[in-house]
């Protein structure tokens, strides 16, 4: 047993941190809340040039071929500085889904483009009602054309393509439809939201599919596997954000003086922060364990769901208590805590919310016939 | 990064399991392997328990991490942990303070006479110890202990009181901390002594608790100890006590008990019907289980951090504090959730007609209370994390 990262992984962390520091940072986060793109173009360029968009794409398809644990390292760092971008949607979720569902030919066509950053894929999953369940997917796919709408589609403004969960008319089977973002028949409406992130409602009217991915009955479980993969990276991102929020809060508590002493001396506050520290450490380790198990070929999807549930709760609690400890200043836009606070809820609800995760975890744990565990591959 | 045990460690785990399988077939197994028993109840004395410990010694599982010159096997510290994890997973008594803090402190600081007298007996499980640290006025603030040891001839005369000395009613020897100097700072006037418990002037009085677990208060009335039975140097006891805690980081916290509890709960919920279907199929039950299972995995991760840090030769102060805080609070929450999910019948005890789950959970709710108090309260763990991990200022 060895819980240390390798030298290469430590270097990967340094590289990511340097890119975030140089091209993103909390001032850029503020600027991005105001502009349409939602992330600095130079940041994305740096991700591409350093190979981070190719990180977990297999070498045979133009990627670097590293594993989920390596991605976890990257996403912890991204989370620390709130350096969000389409990286998760394109290089993690979409790439993984295509790898799992695609034919050799489809993989050869799309994965190298994703790895090289030449295409940026946004995943369109949720529909009205916001259900992560299979029955939540109703968007109609017939004769290679889509009709229906999706909600909470991230980065639709800069994506070159949409990977859209749809239901094949007739068979009723789940399919993944890839469309060029500039296809006719796609209407995108920006959705203002708590995290000021570029989120869109998409309406498809006879929009033409470029590539259709289908594995028959296996499409849904494979999509869930891709979601599990991405859930681990999102857990790491949330843990990175939570750790940074906690550190910022602890630093503030060391310098802010009330009643003649630094407020960090008051146990009402220091004990709260100690509890948060335990949750943050546990959350990080859970994500490591899930990522390691995935790479080692052990059962890992239960761990992935547990990691996401835990990380979501932890970022929520860390930002809530962290803001409280900052007092009034934390509430102001001039201070940083509010940036973390607003994104915390997004990290918690996106990419499997707690309601869905509880059912999924119970399903995997109890091996019951709940919808989440039916046809499950493990 | 690797969450797996090495091949050697896995082979060793198999050896322990084989040993336990053989022990499980013996007549006394039901007395020894009782997973439903809460941790501290396993300290209770019985002839069966002593025999089991002797078998552990015979099988070579005592002193695994001791140096060869003292009869040990010189294995890395993780091996003590591995044995304890297997023992915990069948509800058997764990390797105790003899092999741990007492044996190791003697090796580092004890006189040749004390080493000769006690180390072989410890390896053969021929001696039981009681720890005498806490006092009525010295709990979390342990260094403020007052039990007085005054110079008297070639030894010391002890007067005062100890409390929460759980094994004092059956142990053979005392491992006792007493105040030998009250003029300086409180942690610089404490000395460790060894003395037989059946000595004149020692009165052991039972303290019954709401759990199935007795502890004791012990009174000292002019009890004399020879200089030969002073451990290490006079007035250095506090540093030995703290150092000994570090020897124990490996073995102290097992992950087995919370995992065992959750597994037992899941089985029970699968096999207990409410309103026409097993409880495990009720949605609210599944949601609670999802959250508990997530916390169990989180606790496991924190426990792994302790052993990895210790394996690298670091003193895992923060890791241990996080692990202890997390797993003991979780143990209580599992018991509480179990009773909430099982409903009013969970109030019924083991002996009651109509009980559910053999009455184990009401017993557990009583028994786990002490887990967040003994060995450093949850609040003390939070102080450690706040100061050592977050570098927050010391409350003053």
Report ipTM for this prediction. Answer: 0.93
**Which chain A residue is nearest to residue B8, measuring alpha carbons?**
A1
The CA distance from A349 to the nearest CA of chain B, in Å, is: 16
Are A361 and A223 in the same domain? Answer: yes
Class of domain B130-236: mainly beta
The H-assigned helical ranges of chain A are 7-23, 25-34, 41-49, 68-80, 87, 95-101, 104-115, 219-255, 267-296, 301-326, 337-349, 354-366
Does A299 touch chain B if contact means CB atoms closer than 8 Å? no
**Positive or negative torsion for Cα A366, A370, A376, B2:** negative
| Distance separating alpha carbons of residues B51 and B157, to the nearest angstrom | 35
Question: A363 to chain B: which residues are within 8 Å by CB?
Answer: 286
Contact: B286, A368; criterion CB under 8 Å: yes
Suggest the residue from A3, A299, A305, A354 to mutate for an interface test with chain B (most B CBs closer than 10 A): A3
CB nearest B3 (choices: A9, A271, A292): A292
Chain B residues near residue A266 by CB distance under 8 angstroms: 395
Contacts of A365 in chain B (CB under 8 A): 266, 289-290, 293
Q: Name beta bridge partners: B106.
A: none
Listed in sequence order, the residues at least 6 apart from B215 whose beta carbon sits closer than 8 Å to its beta carbon are: B163, B164, B165, B166, B206, B207, B209
A357 touches chain B (CB under 8 A): yes
Q: Do A182 and A128 share a structural domain?
A: yes
Residue B226 three-state SS? strand
Pair A287, A334 in one domain? yes
At residue A377, does pLDDT exceed 60?
no
Please spell the DSSP secondary structure of B95-157, one letter per residue: P-TIIIIIHHHHHHH--HHHHHHHHHHHHTT---EEEE--BTTBSSSGGG---EEEEETTEEE
Same domain, A109 and A129: no
Domain edge (last residue) among A217, A252, A279 = A217
- CB-based contact, A3 to chain B, within 8 Å: yes
Q: How confident is the model at residue A373 (pLDDT cuts 50, 70, 90)?
A: very low
The answer to whether the CB of B244 falls within 8 A of the CB of B195 is no
Of the candidates B307, B391, B393, the beta carbon closest to that of A265 is on B393
Reduce the DSSP state of residue B59 to 3 states and report it.
Answer: coil
Q: Are residues A102 and A43 in the same domain?
A: yes
Of A254, A282, A365, the CB nearest to B326: A282
User: Helix A267-296 crosses helix B317-342 at what angle (to 10 degrees)?
Assistant: 90
Residues 6+ apart with CB under 8 A from A84: A38, A39, A78, A197, A343
Q: How far is B325 from chain A (nearest CA, A)?
A: 8
Q: Among A87, A115, A143, where does a domain finish?
A: A115
Q: Report how far residue B255's alpha carbon sits from residue B301's, in angstroms, rounded to the nearest whole number.
A: 9
CB < 8 Å to B2, chain A = 1-2, 292, 296
Residue among B3, B287, B290 minimizing CB distance to A1: B3
State how far residue B23 is from chain A, nearest Cα, in angstroms: 29
State the pLDDT confidence band at A378, using cuts at 50, 70 and 90: very low
Min Cα separation A63/chain B (Å): 22
Pick the residue from chain B with its C-alpha nearest to A271: B382
Which of A253, A293, A365 is nearest residue B289 as measured by Cβ atoms?
A365
Chain B CB contacts of A278 below 8 Å:
302, 322, 325-326, 385
Residue B218 and residue A354: Cα distance in Å, rounded? 51
- A257 with A321, same domain: the answer is yes
How high is the pLDDT of residue A162? 98
Question: Is the CB of residue A358 less than 8 Å away from at least one CB of chain B?
Answer: yes
What is chain B's percent helix, strand, coil content, to nearest 5?
A: 50, 15, 30
Task: Using CB atoms, pick whichever of A274, A281, A309 lies closest to residue B382.
Answer: A274
Q: Given an 8 Å threshold on Cβ–Cβ distance, is B326 in contact with A278?
A: yes
Number of independent structural domains in chain A:
3
A349 pLDDT tier (thresholds 50, 70, 90):
very high
Q: Tokens in use for B27?
A: 């007549």
Q: What's A33's domain CATH number? A: 1.10.540.10
Q: What is the pLDDT along chain B (396 residues), one digit of tens a residue?
A: 999 999 999 999 999 999 999 999 998 888 888 766 765 555 567 888 889 999 999 999 999 999 999 999 999 888 988 999 999 888 888 888 899 899 999 999 999 999 999 999 999 999 999 999 999 999 989 999 999 999 999 999 999 999 999 899 999 999 999 999 999 999 999 999 999 999 999 999 999 999 877 899 999 999 999 999 999 999 999 999 998 877 776 666 778 889 989 999 999 999 999 999 999 999 999 999 999 999 999 999 999 999 898 888 888 889 999 999 999 999 999 999 999 999 999 999 999 999 999 999 999 999 999 999 988 899 999 999 999 999 999 876
Domain that holds residue A31: 7-115
Dmax (CA) for chain B in angstroms is 77
A285–B326: do the CB atoms touch at under 8 Å?
no
Residue A317, chain B, CB below 8 Å: the answer is no
Whether residue A371 has pLDDT greater than 70: no
- In the predicted model, is pLDDT for residue A31 greater than 60? yes
Verify that A132 and A97 share a domain, yes or no: no
Task: Give A-chain residues touching B301 at CB under 8 angstroms.
Answer: 281-282, 285-286, 288-289
- A185-203: per-residue pLDDT in tens? 999 999 999 999 999 999 9
Q: Which of A64, A89, A115 marks a domain boundary? A: A115
Token couple for B227? 């200089």
- Structural contact between residues A110 and A211, judged by C-beta atoms closer than 8 angstroms: yes
pLDDT number for residue B396: 66
- pLDDT higher for A73 or B311? A73
Do residues B136 and B199 touch, judged by C-beta distance below 8 A? no
Count of CB pairs separated by less than 8 Å, A with B: 160
Instruction: Tell me how close the Cα of B259 comes to any Cα of chain A, in angstroms.
Output: 13
A172 located within any domain? yes
Give CA–CA dist B98/A25, Å, rounded. Answer: 55
CA distance A87 to A92: 7
Let me know: does B114 contact B102? Beta carbons within 8 Å. Answer: no
Residues ≥6 apart with Cβ < 8 Å to B34: B42, B91
pLDDT of A126 > 70? The answer is: yes
**Which residue in A2, A265, A362 is closest to B2 by CB distance?**
A2
Cβ distance of B392 and A303 shorter than 8 Å: no
A278 and A154, same structural domain? no
Mean pLDDT of chain A: 95
pTM, entire model: 0.94
**What is the four-CA torsion angle of A17, A22, A24, A28, rounded to 10 degrees?**
150
> CB-CB: which of A6, A262, A361 is closest to B293?
A361
Task: Specify which residues A201 forms β-bridges with.
Answer: A189
**Contact state of B1 with A283 under an 8 Å Cβ cutoff:** no
User: For chain B, what are the domain ranges?
Assistant: 7-95, 130-236, 253-389
Q: Does residue A212 sit in the same domain as residue A342?
A: no
**Chain B contact set for A262 (CB, 8 A):** 393
Q: Report the C-alpha gap between A146 and B365 in whole angstroms.
A: 57
Q: Measured between alpha carbons, how far is B382 from B388 in angstroms, rounded to an integer? A: 10
Q: Do the Cβ atoms of A293 and B270 come within 8 Å?
A: no
Residues A335 and A233 in one domain: yes
Q: Are A341 and A325 in the same domain?
A: yes
CATH of the domain at A129: 2.40.110.10
Q: Do B297 and A370 touch (CB under 8 A)?
A: no
Q: Which CATH architecture has domain B253-389?
A: Up-down Bundle (1.20)
Q: Write the burial class of residue B357 (CB in 10 Å: 0-12 exposed, 13-18 middle, 19+ buried).
A: buried
């Amino acid at each position: 047993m060895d819980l240390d990262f390798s030298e290469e992984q430590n270097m990967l962390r340094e590289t990511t941190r340097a890119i975030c520091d140089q091209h993103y940072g909390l001032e850029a986060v503020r600027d991005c809340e105001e502009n349409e793109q939602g992330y600095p173009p130079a940041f994305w360029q740096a991700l591409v040039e350093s190979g981070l968009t190719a990180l977990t794409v297999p070498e045979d398809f133009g990627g670097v071929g590293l594993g989920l644990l390596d991605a976890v390292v990257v996403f912890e760092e991204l989370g620390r500085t709130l350096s969000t971008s389409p990286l998760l949607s394109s290089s993690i979720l979409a790439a993984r889904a295509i790898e799992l569902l695609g034919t050799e030919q489809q993989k050869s066509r799309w994965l190298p483009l994703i790895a090289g950053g030449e295409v940026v894929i946004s995943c369109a999953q949720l529909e009205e009602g916001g259900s992560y369940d299979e029955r939540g997917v109703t968007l109609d796919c017939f004769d290679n054309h889509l009709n229906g709408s999706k909600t909470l589609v991230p980065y639709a403004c800069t994506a070159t393509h949409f990977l859209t969960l749809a239901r094949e008319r007739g068979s009723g089977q789940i399919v993944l439809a890839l469309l060029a973002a500039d296809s006719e028949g796609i209407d995108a409406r920006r959705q203002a939201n708590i995290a000021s992130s570029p989120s869109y409602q998409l309406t498809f009217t006879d929009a033409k599919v470029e590539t259709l991915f289908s594995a028959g009955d296996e499409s849904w479980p494979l999509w869930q596997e891709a979601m599990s993969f991405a859930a681990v990276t999102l857990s790491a991102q949330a843990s990175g954000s939570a750790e940074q929020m906690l550190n910022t809060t602890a630093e503030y508590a060391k310098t802010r003086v009330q009643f003649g002493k630094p407020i960090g001396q008051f146990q009402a506050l220091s004990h709260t922060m100690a509890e948060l520290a335990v949750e943050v450490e546990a959350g990080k380790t859970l994500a490591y364990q899930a990522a390691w198990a995935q790479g080692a070929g052990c059962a890992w999807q239960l761990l992935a769901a547990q990691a996401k549930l835990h990380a979501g709760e932890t970022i929520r609690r860390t930002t809530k208590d962290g803001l409280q400890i900052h007092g009034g200043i934390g509430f102001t836009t001039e201070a940083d805590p509010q940036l973390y606070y607003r994104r915390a809820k997004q990290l918690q609800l996106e990419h499997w919310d707690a309601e869905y995760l509880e059912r999924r975890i119970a399903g995997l744990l109890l091996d019951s016939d709940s919808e989440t565990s039916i046809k499950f591959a493990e | 990064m690797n969450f797996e045990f090495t091949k050697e460690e896995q082979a060793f785990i198999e050896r322990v399991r084989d040993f336990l399988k053989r022990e499980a077939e013996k007549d006394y197994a039901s007395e020894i392997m009782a997973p439903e028993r809460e941790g501290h109840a396993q300290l209770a004395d019985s002839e069966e328990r002593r025999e089991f410990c002797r078998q552990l010694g015979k099988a070579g599982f005592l002193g695994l991490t001791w140096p060869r010159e003292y009869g040990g096997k010189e294995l890395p510290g993780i091996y003590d942990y591995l044995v304890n994890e297997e023992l915990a997973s069948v509800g058997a008594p764990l390797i105790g303070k003899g092999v741990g803090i007492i044996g190791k402190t003697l090796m580092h600081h004890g006189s040749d006479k004390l080493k000769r007298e006690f180390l072989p007996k410890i390896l053969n499980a021929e001696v039981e110890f009681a720890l005498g640290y806490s006092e009525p006025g010295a709990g979390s603030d342990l260094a403020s202990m007052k039990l007085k040891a005054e110079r008297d001839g070639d030894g010391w005369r002890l007067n005062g009181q100890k409390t929460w000395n759980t094994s004092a009613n059956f142990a053979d020897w005392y491992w006792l901390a007493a105040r030998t100097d009250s003029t300086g700072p409180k942690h610089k006037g404490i000395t460790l002594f060894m003395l037989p418990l059946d000595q004149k002037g020692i009165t052991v009085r039972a303290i019954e608790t709401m759990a199935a677990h007795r502890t004791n208060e012990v009174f000292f009335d002019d009890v004399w100890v020879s200089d030969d039975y002073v451990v290490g140097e006079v007035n250095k006891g506090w540093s030995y006590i703290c150092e000994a805690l570090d020897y124990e980081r490996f073995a102290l916290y097992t992950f087995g008990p919370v995992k065992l509890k959750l597994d037992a709960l899941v089985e029970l919920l699968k096999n207990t019907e409410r309103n026409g279907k097993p409880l495990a199929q009720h949605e609210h039950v599944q949601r609670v289980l999802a959250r508990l299972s997530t916390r169990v995995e989180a606790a496991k991760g924190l426990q792994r951090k302790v052993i990895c840090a210790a394996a690298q030769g670091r003193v895992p102060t923060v890791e241990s504090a996080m692990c202890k805080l997390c797993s003991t609070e979780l143990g209580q929450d599992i018991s509480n959730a179990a009773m909430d999910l099982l409903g009013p019948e969970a109030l019924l005890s083991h002996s009651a007609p109509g009980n559910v789950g053999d009455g184990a959970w009401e017993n557990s709710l009583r028994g786990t209370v002490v887990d967040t108090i003994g060995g450093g309260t949850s609040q003390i763990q939070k102080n450690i994390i706040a100061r050592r991990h977050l570098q927050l200022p010391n409350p003053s």
